[in-house]
Amino acid sequence: MTDQTQRDTIYTSQGVTMNYNLGYACINMALSYPEKGKERITTNRGMIKRTFQQKGLPYASALTLQNTKDLLQILQWNEQHGIKFYRMSSDLIPWASEYDLKDLPDFDAIEEALYEAGLYAAEHNMRITTHPGHFNKLTSPNPDVIKRTTRDLEIHGEIFDLMCLPRTHFAKINIHVGATYNDRRMALDNFCKNFERLPESVRSRLTVENDDKASLYSTKELYDEVYSRIGVPIVFDYHHHKFCTGDQTEYEAVHLAASTWGDIRPVVHYSESRADEHNDASIKPQAHSDSYVNAIDFHGLDLDVMLEAKHKEIALFKMRELLKNNLTIAA
């Protein structure tokens, strides 16, 4: 699936036409925190490990079925509000690494709910992606960490397959490369080696993201050491780039990352500083803001923008207004 299948918002700025989608991650604020008397709709019902040990697969299955059914309702809400890009929660299936999904008592109904959500996304030209947690580290020298990481990524690939999402980077599974373990060469070699051992359901969708610490991986290093070796596209994170530039300007870095996507529209992440938003120097500068003050600079590129603000779809609506104030809607 390529960009031509997406229905985009189109604006012109200084004579340049840009095609893009804005998306938000996981939680829909309006549905998760509804008016009194309305049922909560969410996809991240979960439990602590002790509860899972006590209640087992039947409870995990019941929560998963609720989550997967609510996924379709979130997508329907998104469609009603013109949102074509959505990051699915990695908490959809509680403690999924502890069992085979087919062992869940409600698996048939869960499979049907996932298929219906994927079908709805396809019929309405939506892009669905996911972002497994930071504990996934294909760079690790520890075999147990690699085993857990592989298992977690396999689950994400299996869920996307059950949704019949394409095995392309259109339905990306995005991760950070991981730590350096005081040996960057070893770590990057491990990543490339372990990538090749992943199932096709993951390899065909996996992307990597630049980091927010100078000691970790910039866009330039990811291009030279990951994309150039194994062809994994790069998700450019605007906010992270401020802390790990790789001696590149924002313009240079986002264009370099975009060049790794072939005929599929690149995904970028955009957030602003929570410390600046609240004028509070005690807040970690890397922390994401609640909403937005500045319109994103596309640097002349067609992009799908995942907005990583705490206020989710509310912040997306704010970004729409900021863009309208900065750009002219094309006729």
Q: What whole-number distance in Å separates Cα of residue 213 and Cα of residue 193?
A: 24
Q: Which residues contact 182 (CB under 8 A, 6 or more apart)?
A: none
| Number of domains forming the structure of the chain | 1
Distance from C-alpha of 129 to C-alpha of 152, rounded to nearest angstrom: 15
Q: Is the pLDDT of residue 319 over 80?
A: yes
Confidence band of 16 (pLDDT split at 50, 70, 90): low
Helix, coil or strand: residue 172: coil
* pLDDT over 90 percentage in the chain: 83
Question: How many CB atoms sit inside 10 A of residue 35's CB?
Answer: 6
**Residue 277 confidence (pLDDT):** 81
The verdict on residue 242 lying in a domain is yes
pLDDT at 145: 97
Element containing residue 17 per DSSP (H, E): strand 16-25
Does 3 have pLDDT greater than 50?
A: no
With respect to residue 323, please indicate whether it lies within any of the assigned structural domains: no
Provide the domain limits for residue 225. Answer: 26-283
For residue 209, is it within any domain?
Answer: yes
Q: What is the pLDDT of residue 328?
A: 47
Distance (Å, rounded) from C-alpha 286 to C-alpha 268?
A: 17
* Span 148-197, pLDDT tens digits: 999 999 999 999 999 999 999 999 999 999 899 999 999 999 999 999 99
- Predicted confidence band at 15 (pLDDT cuts at 50, 70, 90)? low
The chain-wide mean pLDDT, for the chain, equals 92
Confidence of residue 14 (pLDDT cuts 50, 70, 90): low
pLDDT at 297 over 90: yes
On whether residue 316 sits in a domain, the answer given is no
Q: What is the residue type of 127?
A: R
What pLDDT is recorded for position 287?
Answer: 86
- The CATH number of the domain holding residue 175 is 3.20.20.150
131 CA to centre of own chain: 4
- Residue 86 in domain: yes
pLDDT digits (tens, 9 = 90+) for 24-59: 999 999 999 988 888 999 999 999 999 999 999 999
- Over residues 245-268, the pLDDT tens digits come to 999 999 999 999 999 999 999 999
**What pTM was estimated for this model as a whole?**
0.92
Predicted confidence at residue 327, as pLDDT, reads: 62
pLDDT at 100 over 50: yes
- What is the average pLDDT across 137-149? 97
Instruction: Give the CA angle between residues 16, 19, 24 to the nearest 5°.
Output: 135
pLDDT at 280: 81
Do the domain assignments include residue 203?
A: yes
Indicate whether 55 belongs to any domain: yes
Query: Considering the domain boundaries, does residue 172 fall inside one?
Result: yes
pLDDT, average across residues 312-325: 94
Q: What percent of the chain has pLDDT over 70?
A: 93
For residues 75 and 89, give the distance between their C-alpha atoms in angstroms, rounded to a whole number.
13
Question: Would you place residue 2 in the very low, low, confident or very high pLDDT band (cuts 50, 70, 90)?
Answer: very low
